[in-house]
Structure 1
Amino acid sequence: MARLRSIKPTAGNRTDWRQLLTEFLAYKKLEDGIGQYTLDDYDRTVNLLFKRFPNAWDSEQALKDAVMEHLAQDIAPPTFNNRLVYLRTFFKYCINEGELSTNPLATMKKRKTEDRAVSVEVDVLNALLTAPNQNTFVGLRDYTLILLTLDTGIRPSEGTKLIPQDFSASLREIYVPAKVAKGRVARTLPISEATTKALRKLISVRAPEWDDNIPIFCSYEGRPLNRHTWGDRVEIYCKKIGTHLRPYDLRHVFALEFLRNGANAFATQRALGHATMEMTRRYVALVNSDLKAEHAKASPVDRLIKSTKAKRNTKV
């Protein structure tokens, strides 16, 4: 637990926010076991606030004014919600440490986000899969990670941390360890024959000097592949084929197609690694919306009624 300091209402006696942030990140890593990407997001979000408002830590009123102006920017709802959650959690820690008496974001609500249906045509996905040059290590790596994501819905942050021991060619499975999984719950994902073949090929061309802790999806020098670099790689391929997709969109494609092709919601939840059904229900709702749209276009009853009305009008 965080150690409690005495309340320090005057700016001159308060601990510097940078020191608090360092302690906060260490606390989150030890107590909550969150991953490095999330820690980096906390660090970046808090630093951005104080970069824009250097005097925000001078007083609680100055902090409140700065936070309100910071969140009043014209930003997308997901960006707003991320800033809100990260800053509110940091301020809560500051209260526990006795550095703040109130949380300026305690009652602030998230903005409503629209469910983003990522429906991609088969020919676009085929073009994306053929874009990487599989004659190079980097191209083969990119092809295999695209294929794995479309096959399992694995998160980019999970896929890039997998090591060779997490892959079983004989069982055609990928194991996502708890330390890699976003929700810290391990899961095993079945994979197709094509994905198994691609993974076997990628692992077979690894440098002989690399040990088993080097990730499957690494740079040609054996360095870990982070989500930002992976995002840049996908963007290069998308520009090449004239489309726009993010790495996470491939996860959405898997979820929607998995459901459309007959998988039930519980199987989808397990595959995606959702802790609750809340996120999975969004995909189900999108698929149901697809069904409604198709029904509106192809309902036999609508066609029969229209045909009957047309005949009646002809007789009149």
Structure 2
Amino acid sequence: MAINQVKTGWQVDIQPGGRSGKRVKKTFRTKAKAIAWERFVQAKIQESSDWTPQKKDTRYLKDLVETWYQYHGIELNDGFRRKTLLLTMCSSMGHPKAETFSTEQFAQYRIKRIDAGITPNTINREHAYLRAVFNENIRLGNWKKDNPLAQLRAFKIQEQELSYLTLPQIQQLLRRLELSKNPHVLLITKVCLATGSRWGEAEALRISQVKKGLIQYVNTKSSKARSIPISKGLESQLLEHHKTYKLENRIFSSAYSAFREALEETNLKLSEGQLTHILRHSFASHFMINGGNIIALQKILGHSSLVMTMRYAHLSPEHLQETLTLNPLSKL
């Protein structure tokens, strides 16, 4: 702190918060007034932190990821997978400091990912995961600034028609699976086709989840349990399979590779990125083709939003049939 005489009077040059703090200069006509103001500032710093410099945030982006996982991600079914992906992203961006991480920095990362051939859908998922890290830290009071990714738009994805297996194709696949050396792959496939489950949900089935003509799926992607009716024949097959292979409470062991091998040998053409998920799409598609209700399908598939389920609505024989009678030309 200093009070110096200048041409216009007496100047107070003060940094009450220290070298890294706010610096203020103010000039007074008399030295007495300058001294009085200096003392006023010294008193105010004791009352308020406005003059005190903020501590420098030395955390890295990966530190926020670790906090997110500790307080929230660990409770998610795919939390560890997300954490691993997020830490890989941090590494790819050069482990930026959290305080200096910006929208532009992530936008540059996206461009590099696109150039490397990564799909926009995958990049949008990464964007959502990292945005959620900041949101959760804000909720925890661990991040005081705005979310740097809040205003960044996701890539617009052109919606593609989902492929599904026809009945002859399903028969062809089942015949091939009957020849598999893996004893579980055929029945897991039947469960997926009968209930619309994800492969992982069917493969992880425990005998306690099969009872009274129902399969109850737990530990699902949406974290919500759902019960799906099954035929007596399928229920009997599941109970008998469990007795035969005696895997404690589990009904099946891993059969993913066996399914992939069998599917490749059938030469069935699928949309890019589909493998076991074709079974779930096939269930939903045939459900609507056979006159199923879209709201019922949402509950069966466990979708948290009807928007996801509406992808199958066009397959309903009644879909948009009102256009035949409600258009103006039909009234002329």
TM-score normalized by structure 2? 0.68
Q: Which residue of 2 aligns with 1:119?
A: 164
TM-score normalized by structure 1? 0.71
Structure label with greater radius of gyration: 2
Does the aligned pair in 2 maintain the 1:128–1:237 contact within 8 Å?
yes
Q: Which residue of 1 aligns with 2:201?
A: 158
- Residue 252 (1) aligns with residue 273 (2): no
Q: Which residue of 2 aligns with 1:301?
A: none
Deviations 1:197-240 (A, max 9, x none): 43233212223xx432xx32324xxxxxxxxx73x443222211
- Residue 27 (1) aligns with residue 71 (2): yes
- Residue 70 (1) aligns with residue 105 (2): no
Does the aligned pair in 1 maintain the 2:172–2:266 contact within 8 Å?
yes
Q: Which residue of 2 aligns with 1:276?
A: 305
SS in 1 for 2:97: helix
Match of 1:239 among 231, 239, 264: 264
SS in 2 for 1:149: helix
Match of 1:57 among 74, 97, 111: 97
More strand as a share of residues = 2
SS in 1 for 2:164: coil
- Displacement, 1:118? 1.5
SS in 1 for 2:90: helix
Q: Which residue of 2 aligns with 1:201?
A: 240
- Displacement, 1:193? 4.4
Does the aligned pair in 1 maintain the 2:204–2:251 contact within 8 Å?
yes
Q: Which residue of 1 aligns with 2:216?
A: 175
SS in 1 for 2:189: helix
Letter in 1 for 2:210: F
Counterpart-to-counterpart distance in 2, 1:83 and 1:109: 13
Q: Which residue of 2 aligns with 1:39?
A: 79
**Residues 124/15 of structure 1: CA separation in 2 closer, same or farther (3 Å cut):** same
Counterpart-to-counterpart distance in 1, 2:318 and 2:209: 36
**Residues 88/135 of structure 1: CA separation in 2 closer, same or farther (3 Å cut):** closer
Counterpart-to-counterpart distance in 2, 1:290 and 1:77: 30
- Displacement, 1:152? 0.7
Counterpart-to-counterpart distance in 1, 2:109 and 2:318: 36
Does the aligned pair in 1 maintain the 2:164–2:279 contact within 8 Å?
no
Q: Which residue of 2 aligns with 1:102?
A: 146
Deviations 1:13-63 (A, max 9, x none): 423444432331131256xx421xx213421331221221224237524x4
Q: Which residue of 2 aligns with 1:311?
A: none
Letter in 1 for 2:123: F
Counterpart-to-counterpart distance in 2, 1:130 and 1:9: 68
- Residue 130 (1) aligns with residue 175 (2): yes
- Displacement, 1:66? 3.2
More helix as a share of residues = 1
Q: Which residue of 2 aligns with 1:217?
A: 252
The sequence identity of aligned pairs, in percent, is 21
**Residues 289/249 of structure 1: CA separation in 2 closer, same or farther (3 Å cut):** farther
Letter in 1 for 2:263: C
Q: Which residue of 1 aligns with 2:187?
A: 144
Q: Which residue of 1 aligns with 2:46?
A: none
Letter in 2 for 1:241: T
User: What 5-or-longer segments of structure 1 have no aligned partner?
Assistant: 1-6, 220-228, 296-316
**Residues 145/184 of structure 1: CA separation in 2 closer, same or farther (3 Å cut):** same
Letter in 2 for 1:196: E
Counterpart-to-counterpart distance in 1, 2:297 and 2:99: 48
Letter in 1 for 2:167: V
**Residues 236/68 of structure 1: CA separation in 2 closer, same or farther (3 Å cut):** same
**Residues 92/190 of structure 1: CA separation in 2 closer, same or farther (3 Å cut):** same
Q: Which residue of 1 aligns with 2:29?
A: none
Does the aligned pair in 1 maintain the 2:196–2:301 contact within 8 Å?
yes
Counterpart-to-counterpart distance in 2, 1:144 and 1:181: 20
**Residues 104/21 of structure 1: CA separation in 2 closer, same or farther (3 Å cut):** same
Does the aligned pair in 1 maintain the 2:196–2:280 contact within 8 Å?
yes
- Displacement, 1:121? 2.5
- Displacement, 1:288? 6.4
Deviations 1:49-81 (A, max 9, x none): 1221224237524x4343112222323232122
**Residues 158/8 of structure 1: CA separation in 2 closer, same or farther (3 Å cut):** farther
Q: Which has the higher contact order (CA 8 A, sep 6+)?
A: 1
**Residues 173/155 of structure 1: CA separation in 2 closer, same or farther (3 Å cut):** same
**Residues 211/289 of structure 1: CA separation in 2 closer, same or farther (3 Å cut):** same
Q: Which residue of 2 aligns with 1:93?
A: 136
SS in 2 for 1:107: coil
